[in-house]
A and B are shown apart, each in its own frame.
Chain A
Amino acid sequence: MNKIVKYIIGIIAVVVILLQFMGPDAPDNRENNPDDLLMNTQVDAEVAGLLRASCYDCHSMETKYPWYSKISPVSGFLFDHIEEGRDELNFSNWQTYEKRRKLRKLKEIQEEIEEGEMPMKSYTLVHGEARLSDSQKELIINWAKDYSKKVFSE
């Protein structure tokens, strides 16, 4: 093999190894979540299962970190998504949201799913189980619609 190619591979290997020590920390999980949506409201079991499988990794304090989350620089992207996702919508903090924020998040959930924006494509690429079929999408959208009516009239 060409000497230069060897050097380059060597340098890349060293950088990747070094990155493993300098990578960012994973956003913390939380064990007790008394304000969680599913702990406080009666959500149809199927819908609850879908939310857990397709959304909770990024939108709750109960992220299940996959093996590749230990590997930098992939982990960096992942952690950013989780932080940003939790910031936008955190099912673990649901009860702390004001009524108007709940209404907004329920509306956004319908929009994001309808437009196929959520769950994120980069995520379902690896997590096949998080992909939503059309009928599953409809289930979540209808749940969000009904629940939003309930929240509004509370």
Chain B
Amino acid sequence: MKKISLLILVAGFMFIGINQAQAQKEEAKVLLVPQNDTETVFAYPISVVNVINNKCLGCHSPSGKSDDAKEDLMWEKLQGMDPADMVAVLDEIIEVLEEGKMPPKKIVAKYPHLKMSDEETTILKSWAEMTSNNLMGE
């Protein structure tokens, strides 16, 4: 029962988050679709959706041009995954953020607006840490 109400809450959050993000940035393709039928749904707060939208989805979504980028991470696929696999992906996201590796330097040099601000890094990283801890029941 607790799980179900949590799911609904989470799905609700995501729905709001996605709608807001869509309203803010029409051209972005928002792919963080809630999946109510899995246990592995988690919340993307609006602030996180915005960062992902603005800084990641250009490459890490089906419309991205780089196959490497798509193979390494597809945000929309994250939630359908097995929880242990999800934690593995989140760990990589955390490492990449800690090391400032994404978006790649080359891309940022060409498109300076894609540079992660410290605030954005913190938002995404704390969310990834929190989510991974939740998934591991910690």
Question: Which residues of A pack against B, CB within 8 Å?
Answer: 98-101, 103-104, 106-108, 148-149, 151-152
Contacts and interface: CB of A to CB of B under 8 A. Distances in A.
Interface in B84-113: 84-85, 87-92, 94
Contacts of A98: 91
Contacts of B132: 100
A99 B136 contact: yes
Contact of B92 (A99, A104, A148, A152): A104
Interface residues of B, number: 13
B83 interface: yes
Interface of B: 83-85, 87-92, 94, 132, 136, 138
Interface of A is mostly: helix
Nearest to A145: B84
Contacts of B94: 100
Q: Which of A107, A108, A149 has the most CB of B within 10 A?
A: A107
Contacts of A149: 84
A149 B136 CA distance: 11
A100 B91 contact: yes
Contacts of B83: 152
